[in-house]
Each structure stands twice: as C-alpha cells, then as structure tokens.
Amino acid sequence: MTELIPPADPLGIPTPVIVFQFLALLTFVLHLIFMNYILGGMLIVTINEWFFGKNPQAGEANALLVRVMPVALSMAITMGVAPLLFVQVLYGNFFYTANIMMGGFWLLIVGLVIVGFYLIYVLIAQRTEGRSATPLTRLVSLVALALFLTVAFLYTNNAVLTENPDYWKAIYTGERFAAAPDPTLWPRYLHNVLGAVAVAGLWCAAIGRYQVVRHPARAEAGRWLVKNGLHWAAMATAFAMILGGIYLYTLGMDRIKAFMGNGILFVGWSISVMTAILSLVCIAMAMMKPDNAKLLWGSIGLSAVTLAGMVMGRELVRMISLQKYYTPQSLAIRPGDTSFYLFLVTFVLGLGVLYYMLRLVWTMPQATPGGAVPSGAADPGDSDANA
C-alpha cells in the first residue's frame, strides 16, 4: 500500500514539529467551539421547531438561537482555516490523498455549507419572536440539519481515511465506495455529533443567561433556554461518553495498547475523561439551580477542558495509526521564522479582537422593558456581578 502514499514535503517546516502540533491542537479547539454550536444548535432548533413549535417561550428561544448562528458559522469557517493548514503541513501526504479518494464528496462540502448558511438566514427571516412554528420553518430547519450532519460525516470519513491508508487501493480501484469500511467510522461520527450537541446545549444556556441578565423583557424565554440547554448538555454528554467508549473499543487492541499511557497527549485525554464526569455532575447541579450562574460557568469551563483533552486524544490516535508509515518528526526543519512570526502576530491580534467584541456585547448596558437604557447603567468596561 505504500506505493499510494506520496512522500512528505521535501521543503520541510520552519520550526520544530512540536510548535506546529501545539498550534494545530489549539486552533482546532477554537474551531470546534463555534462549529459544535452550528451542528448541535441546529439539531436543538429543529427539535424545538417540530415538537415545541407552539410553545411561545420555545419560539422566542429559537428566534434567539438562529440569530447567533450566522456569526458562529462565520467564526467556525474562519477558525477552521488554521487547523486545516497545520494538518496539511504535518500530514499533507495522507490528508490530500484521502481528499482525492473521496473525490466529489469532499468538494461537495463547500456547496453544502453555503446552502446551509442561506437556510439559516431563511430561518431568521421566518422565525421572529412571538410567531409559532410554521411548515416552512420546520422544513428549513430539517434540511439545514441534514446538510450540516452530512458535512460532519464527510469530515469524519476523511479523518478515518487519512489514518487508514490500507483502504486507499480498494477505493481507488473502485472495489469499495468512498465511505471508509472501518469499524470506527460510525461510533466516531455519532460521538462527534453528540459532543457537538453537548457543547451547543451549553451555548444555549449561556445565551439564555445573557437574556436574563441583559434583556428583562426576554427573561422568561431566557430561563426556558437555560433549562432546555442544560438538559441537552446533560443527555448528550452522558451518551457521548458511552459512544466514546465504544469508539475506543473499535480501535482494536493493538492501537488501544499503544494509546494507553502514551505521553502528554494521553495525559490530556485522561484529564478530559475526568472533567467530562465532573462537568456532567456540575450540569446536573445547574439543572437543579438554573439561576446559579457559577454552576453554569463551571459546567462550561469543565466542558472546555474536556473538549481540549478529547482533541489531544484524537491527535494521539492519528499518530499511532500512521506511525508504521510516517511520523511528523521525520519532517526536515529548515529555519525560516518570518512567516511563522507573522502568523503568530495576526493570530494573537485576531484573538484579541474577538475577546474585545465578546466582552463588548456581554457588558452592554441592560435594556429596560421600554427599550431605554437606564441612566445608571454601567459603562461597557464594567462587569455584571450576576452574569
């Protein structure tokens, strides 16, 4: 099978491999924060439309959720550029070949995301506050969900093909379809989807909390959104842990043995398993006390650590799967720091701008039911003690 594996880039890389690996992990986590809201959030919106469409609070909550999605999808796409580039640098000979094996299905991702983007705007136009669900909003939400689920499957399939060059020849010769004939494919995909729903549930709870604190006129819808989001986060986290165990089992004993105790990446993954359990406990406590902001932010913090650890485990699985063919450490290092430092400067500036915008939104003066800003409202630099 090695005849189908292209040689690694002879130009090498400008800095040590560990720097690229760290940045690949960091930027991928940032991408997942926004991407998970789109995938999991659309599932939550669709369920609300179909089963709670006549509930006025659910309707107002859905109107709030879909208004966040264009920004979140834009951020997911923007944040996805850097990890994609790092993967191309570290595993380009495997990643590009997997793309070719998928052919038109890989190119289809762009079109699916564009159509999904437009459908979100259709939902925003149709799903205004105070309106019940209509056949159009139900259909649009369902189609958008199907598109994003398809994109998630194509990315998962690409990841499996990247890690398993043994399947390439059969796919290339037409003996097998482009879907990877691997036992890890479906458990991995479903684990990814449920993880996205868990993160999206916490997004929903945070959006609801923001409405309670900053928009008293939407306080009831905000409280409903907090409770609904926490329920989704709890259920999805529990089932994602089960599917994560199934996915680990389908890796096979050889890879499991190589995975266990394998360096700092395994340590990060192990910590994420513990924080996943703690986050589930914290979410359950927040469900019992939905007005307790500390429990909500604690759940979000623990889930963020879990997400980072799971990404580390994902990277370790990829390294173990490819180690008999290639290791990133074999890349030649040819010092040339100008482009690298330019990336770091723009990356840090971009994160700074993102933080400033989020803080500006969160610390906006509270709105009164009449729409006026209270004369004693805090300026944007002040923080709300109840937030």
> Can you give 116-173 as a three-state secondary structure string?
HHHHHHHHHHHCCCCCCCCHHHHHHHHHHHHHHHHHHHHHHHHHHHHHCHHHHHHHHC
Q: How confident is the model over 10-36, as a mean pLDDT?
A: 92
Q: What is the pLDDT of residues 224-261, one digit of tens each?
A: 999 999 999 999 999 999 999 999 999 999 999 999 98
* pLDDT at residue 232 in the model: 97
Structural domain includes residue 10 = no
Token pair belonging to 266: 């395994």
Q: How confident is the model over 309-313, as a mean pLDDT?
A: 97
| Domain housing 236 | 16-324+349-362
Q: What is the pTM of this model?
A: 0.90
* pLDDT at residue 177 in the model: 84
How many CA atoms lie within 13 Å of 5's alpha carbon, on the beta-carbon side? 17
Of 9-23, 74-88, 156-170, the least confident? 9-23
Q: Which amino acid is at 49?
A: E
Q: How confident is the model over 351-376, as a mean pLDDT?
A: 67
Structural domain includes residue 380 = no
Q: Domain total for the chain?
A: 1
**Is pLDDT larger for residue 304 or for residue 386?**
304
Structural domain includes residue 11 = no
Structural domain includes residue 113 = yes
Structural domain includes residue 82 = yes
Q: How confident is the model over 19-41, as a mean pLDDT?
A: 96
Structural domain includes residue 134 = yes
Structural domain includes residue 289 = yes
- Angle, in degrees to the nearest 10, between helices 185-214 and 17-51: 70
Q: What is the pLDDT of residues 317-347, one digit of tens each?
A: 999 999 999 999 988 888 877 777 888 898 8
**Is pLDDT larger for residue 188 or for residue 215?**
188
Counting other chains too, the contacts that 363-370 makes at CB distance below 8 Å and 24 or more residues apart are: 364/214, 366/213, 366/214, 366/215, 366/216, 367/214, 367/215, 367/216, 367/217, 368/216, 369/216, 369/217
Q: How many CB atoms lie within 10 A of CB 16?
A: 13
Hey, which residues does 333 pair with through a beta bridge? 13
